[in-house]
Amino acid sequence: MSNSRYKLLSEDEIKEYVPNGIMRIKDSSRLKNALIFICGMALCYVILFHVKSEKKMGNFKSFKEMLIKPFVTQKFENYADFYFTKDESRFLNCSQITNGSKDAIESYVNNGRLKLEREKLLKLPMDCENIKTRIRGDIPSFSKLERPIAFVRNIFTLYEFQESLISLNYHPDNSYCFSIDFKTVHRLSENMLSLSKCLPNIIINPMKYSFDSAGHFQDRAHFDCLKLILNRTWYHTLLLQNYDIVLKSSEQLSDLSEMLNYTSIMGLEYGYKHRYKEDANWTPAGLKLFKNEKGVPDRILHTPLTIRKGLNEVFLSKTFVDSLFDKLNLDPILDLFDNKELYGVDEMLIPTLYENYLGLEGQMTSNCTKLQLDNLTRQTDWNFNGPDGYDKNCKSKMKRHSICIIGVEYLQDFSNSNQISANKVLDNFDFGPIICLRQMIREGETNGISEDALNWSPQYREMKLKQNGTYIKEKFEC
Ligand SMILES: *[C@@H]1O[C@H](CO)[C@@H](O)[C@H](O)[C@H]1NC(C)=O
Ligand SMILES: *[C@@H]1O[C@H](CO)[C@@H](O)[C@H](O)[C@H]1NC(C)=O
Ligand SMILES: *[C@@H]1O[C@H](CO)[C@@H](O)[C@H](O)[C@H]1NC(C)=O
Ligand SMILES: *[C@@H]1O[C@H](CO)[C@@H](O)[C@H](O)[C@H]1NC(C)=O
Ligand SMILES: *[C@@H]1O[C@H](CO)[C@@H](O)[C@H](O)[C@H]1NC(C)=O
Ligand SMILES: *[C@@H]1O[C@H](CO)[C@@H](O)[C@H](O)[C@H]1NC(C)=O
Ligand SMILES: *[C@@H]1O[C@H](CO)[C@@H](O)[C@H](O)[C@H]1NC(C)=O
């Protein structure tokens, strides 16, 4: 792993890394240098001034006081105030927008939407009291979760964005583990560390990875985080990427975990042949997949794995994750999928390990290798017509990597969605959906996931049959 150590890149390298024109990540170092310079000058001035004319001028003290004036704790009135000025946020009326008011949406959109811009961030006090206020200040107490969830996320953009995505469904019983990209400016890492020192259920993976839009290191980072939180109490884990927004409350996810029991949800699709090295040795024996091959049937050891595909976002039971770490050597297969020459490499590892029967706990035993698009883990408004950028067929009129970007126009859909998460929310396109969804979740305006919705998933149906003793492998219809 020596190639994934922390390294800060130059501004040009960071710009190069930007996936396309919409996301323009700018390094704040120039601004920082300018500030350091100005502060330095001010200090010199003060010292000179102080030495030369201490007696004459009595106002040095007040200047010093100004320099060390502590941050003032902000009261929790309007969540938007933590990240935006009142003037900026005056057009966002979440109640009206989620109520479907076209006028409210139009007024907000036409006035430019709320955006986080790296150059114009409000001062964010990072002491523990303020962090806690921002994340959970309006939720004075929590009731115990039956089945806590582990959120595992790979990140690289602004700290403010990640902080507010956490606060959306923060619960002290859950675990939140983050892996950070090594090209990210220092500020995200530093602030995430402050956050984790303040809230013990927020864990930062010390390794850094070279994430890119082809999906490299995504699986590796997720697994490294999972390893860090294996001995915490959780029942399902939701694996996420930087721009995913979770649509359900912790209580709703806990209920879902209870229904799913040992099963997991993910897409069940054929792997695309251009996304993996087809001529590699994909047998478990060739991959040295099992830590201990004794007792593993030859038919499993020597049959090439059928390469499967879902999305990178999956909802996995602890039962299955424990079994993965317990029984398998994950490094060789992680490296084989993470082929540096290929694109979209991060959507196959878990579906392949889950859908090929390997005798792991939590797997389904039926051989379900037909196409089943996942409509539970991630809501995505795909739009393959035309280039990225403006697109009148997107509700938000904006598209990136053939996916309509989430704007407040999607909030009504979210309130009765059967999906756990949605993609993509961009902090520098529209921050409004995060603020409003947070309010919706807190006020119980989002639906839980129904048992009916789960019935499309063969692993869930298989479990139900097994539980009442009517499962027959040969007769099971995927
Ligand atoms: C939003 O609109 C409702 C109803 O029109 C109003 O009562 C409420 O005060 C408004 N909220 C904000 C934050 O402006
Ligand atoms: C939401 O819509 C209902 C019915 O259309 C209306 O009675 C209510 O006042 C609206 N609430 C807000 C906050 O706009
Ligand atoms: C498991 O938990 C114990 C404390 O309960 C801790 O000391 C240990 O480091 C943890 N192990 C891992 C791998 O995180
Ligand atoms: C989960 O499944 C196991 C095995 O079928 C069963 O014993 C247990 O009662 C189930 N738990 C829940 C919460 O349904
Ligand atoms: C599973 O089904 C596929 C076709 O649907 C077949 O090619 C494959 O051999 C089967 N695997 C097992 C282990 O039965
Ligand atoms: C989920 O997808 C299946 C087909 O794969 C479909 O039959 C089902 O209606 C879908 N469910 C929802 C809630 O969209
Ligand atoms: C067993 O469970 C399945 C799925 O829930 C149901 O369709 C079936 O009727 C049940 N059979 C019996 C005998 O209870």
Residues spanned by the domain of 186: 128-260+376-447
Q: Which ligand 6 atom is nearest residue 456's CA?
A: 3
What is the number of domains present in the chain?
3
Q: Atom 14 (ligand 5): residue with closest C-alpha?
A: 367
Residues 353 and 254 in one domain: no
Instruction: Count CB atoms within 10 A of the CB of residue 373.
Output: 10
Could you tell me if residue 100 is inside a domain?
no
Distance 371 CA to ligand 5 centre (A): 13
Residue 292: inside a domain: yes
Q: What is the pLDDT of residue 357?
A: 93
- My answer on whether 223 and 187 are in the same domain is yes
Q: What is the pLDDT of residue 74?
A: 57
Q: Is 415 in the pocket of ligand 5 (CB under 6 A)?
A: no
Do residue 255 and residue 288 come from a single domain? no
Q: Is 237 exposed, middle or buried (0-12, 13-18, 19+ CB in 10 A)?
A: buried
Residue 357 CA: nearest ligand 5 atom is 13
pLDDT in tens, 198-257: 999 999 999 999 998 889 999 999 999 999 999 999 999 999 999 999 999 999 999 999
Query: Does one domain contain both 392 and 282?
Result: no
Ligand 3 site-directed mutation target among 201, 204, 227, 231, most atoms within 8 Å of CB? 231
From atom 10 of ligand 4, which residue's Cα is the shortest distance away? 261
Asked, for residue 225, whether it belongs to a domain, the answer is: yes
Same domain membership, residue 460 and residue 430: no
Q: Say if ligand 7 is within 6 A of residue 470 CB.
A: yes
Residue 47: its pLDDT value, please?
A: 44
Cross-strand bridge partners of residue 404: 399
* The pLDDT of residue 94 is above 50: yes
Ligand nearest to the CA of 462: 7
CA distance 86 to 440: 21
Tokens in use for 137?
């200040």
Q: How far apart are CA 222 and CA 202, in angstroms?
A: 15
DSSP string over 342-361: -SSTTSSHHHHHHHS--S-T
pLDDT digits (tens, 9 = 90+) for 313-327: 999 999 999 999 999
**Spatial contact of 301 and 290, defined as CB atoms under 8 Å apart:** yes
Q: Report d(CA 268, CA 271) in Å as an integer.
A: 9
Residues 132 and 254 in one domain: yes
User: Is 96 near ligand 2, meaning CB less than 6 Å away?
Assistant: yes
In terms of domains, do 56 and 43 share one?
yes
Mean pLDDT (whole number) for 263-284? 91
Mapped to the 3 state alphabet, what secondary structure does 36-90 carry? Answer: HHHHHHHHHHHHHHHHHHCCCCCCHHHHHHHHCCCCCCCCCCCHHHHCCCHHHHC
Asked if residue 367 has its Cβ within 6 Å of ligand 5, the reply is: yes
Give the span between the Cα atoms of 361 and 330, in whole angstroms: 16
Q: What is the pLDDT of residue 183?
A: 87
Distance, C-alpha 281 to centroid of its chain: 32
Q: Which atom of ligand 6 is nearest to the CA of 373?
A: 5
Inter-CA distances, 102 with 48, 99, 410, 413, Å? 60, 9, 12, 14
Residue pLDDT, tens place only, 360-387: 999 999 988 777 778 888 888 888 887 8
CA dist 336 → 213, 222, 470 (Å)? 18, 16, 39
Are residues 336 and 460 located together in one domain of the fold?
Answer: yes
Q: Which ligand is nearest the CA of 463, by number?
A: 4
Residues 245 and 386 in one domain: yes
Which residue minimizes the CA distance to atom 4 of ligand 2? 99
Residue 81 lies in a domain: no
**230, part of any domain:** yes
> In this structure, are 347 and 457 located in the same domain?
yes
Specify whether 355 is located in the same domain as 465: yes
Is residue 290 domain-shared with residue 347, that is, in the same domain?
yes
pTM for the full predicted model:
0.84
